[in-house]
Amino acid sequence: MSTIEVTNLSKSYGDVTALDDVSFTIPDGEFVVVLGQSGAGKSTLLRCLNGITRPTSGSITIDDANVVGPRNDVAMIFQQHYILGQMSAYSNALTGALGRTSFLGSLLGLYDGDDKKEALRALETVGLLDEANQRAGKMSGGQQQRVGIARALVQNPNLLLADEPVASLDPASAETVMRYIRDAADERDLTTIASLHQVNIAREFGERFLGMKDGQVVFDGYREDFNVDVIDRIYGDIETEAIREERADGPPANDAVATSGARSHEY
C-alpha cells in the first residue's frame, strides 16, 4: 500500500495534449477507478504512474519518492494479458518474481521458495489454485486475465495499476475479473488505480472515481456523488441521453447510472 501524489501533471505528444495539469492525492489502500471517453488520457495517466511514460511537466510521488522510471513495487495489469500460452498458470504467475530473481535463475526456473509460495497464494486469491498446472494457452480469456492478476500480485507491489483490464471480456467474465481484482486489493490493502470504459462496472467496484475529459480531471469524488450529472460531465450529453430518459420514467438517479450506464458504455 502506498500514498500517491500527482501534482500539475501534463503530457503532450507533439500538438496533442494527453494530460493537462492533472493533480490529485490518493491515500493508502484506496481503490480508484479512472473513467473517460476514448482519448481522454486514462492510459497516459496510468503509464506516467507506472514510469513507462515521461510527463512533459509536473510530478508523481509514491510514498514521497519521485517516479522517474519503472519500479518493481508498481505492478500493471493490461487489457491484453501477455500470458505465455505454453507455460502453466503457476509458471506464468511466478514470472511476477522476475524483478528479484537473477537472470540465470529465471532461465533455469530457480525461483526462491518464498516466491513459489507467493505464486500459489496469488493463484488462490484469483480462484485458480486448482488450475495451477493447466497450460495458460488453454484457458479462457477471463482465466488468462486472472493469471495476469496473479502475476502482478507475485510482484508484491505497493501500487497496482490496471489499464482497462476487462475491456476485451464478455460482461459476465468482466464482472468476475473485476471482483477478483477488488478482492485482491482489499485482502492486501493495496492502493489500486484501474481505468474502465464500463460505467456500470466502475460503479459496482469503484470506491473513488476520477473522471477525465480532454486530458483534465473533470470529476474527483466518491460513490455518493457519482451521479448522472457527473456522467454527463465526463461523457457528454449523447452518451447519457438514455440514462436521462430512464430517469424521467422513474428510477432514482444513482440506480439509473448503475443500470443504463452498462448499455451506454459497453463496447
Ligand X SMILES: Nc1ncnc2c1ncn2[C@@H]1O[C@H](COP(=O)(O)OP(=O)(O)OP(=O)(O)O)[C@@H](O)[C@H]1O
Q: Under the rule (CB under 6 A), what is the footprint of ligand X? A: 13, 16, 18, 36, 38-44
CB nearer to ligand X: give 16 or 65: 16
**Which residues lie closer than 8 Å to 90 by C-beta, 6 or more apart?**
119, 120, 123, 132, 133
**Which residues lie closer than 8 Å to 210 by C-beta, 6 or more apart?**
24, 32, 33, 34, 35, 217, 219, 220
CB of 78 to ligand X, least distance (A): 11
CA distance 148 to 157: 14
Element (DSSP H or E) covering residue 65: strand 65-66
CB of 168 to ligand X, least distance (A): 12
CB nearer to ligand X: give 43 or 156: 43
89, three cell numbers: 498458470
CB of 94 to ligand X, least distance (A): 30
Q: What are phi and psi of 115, to 5 degrees?
A: -65, -40
CB nearer to ligand X: give 39 or 251: 39
CB of 119 to ligand X, least distance (A): 30
CB nearer to ligand X: give 43 or 191: 43
- For the chain, the first-to-last Cα distance in angstroms comes to 32
CB of 162 to ligand X, least distance (A): 12
CB nearer to ligand X: give 43 or 264: 43
The whole-angstrom distance between residue 166's C-alpha and the CA centroid of its chain comes to 9
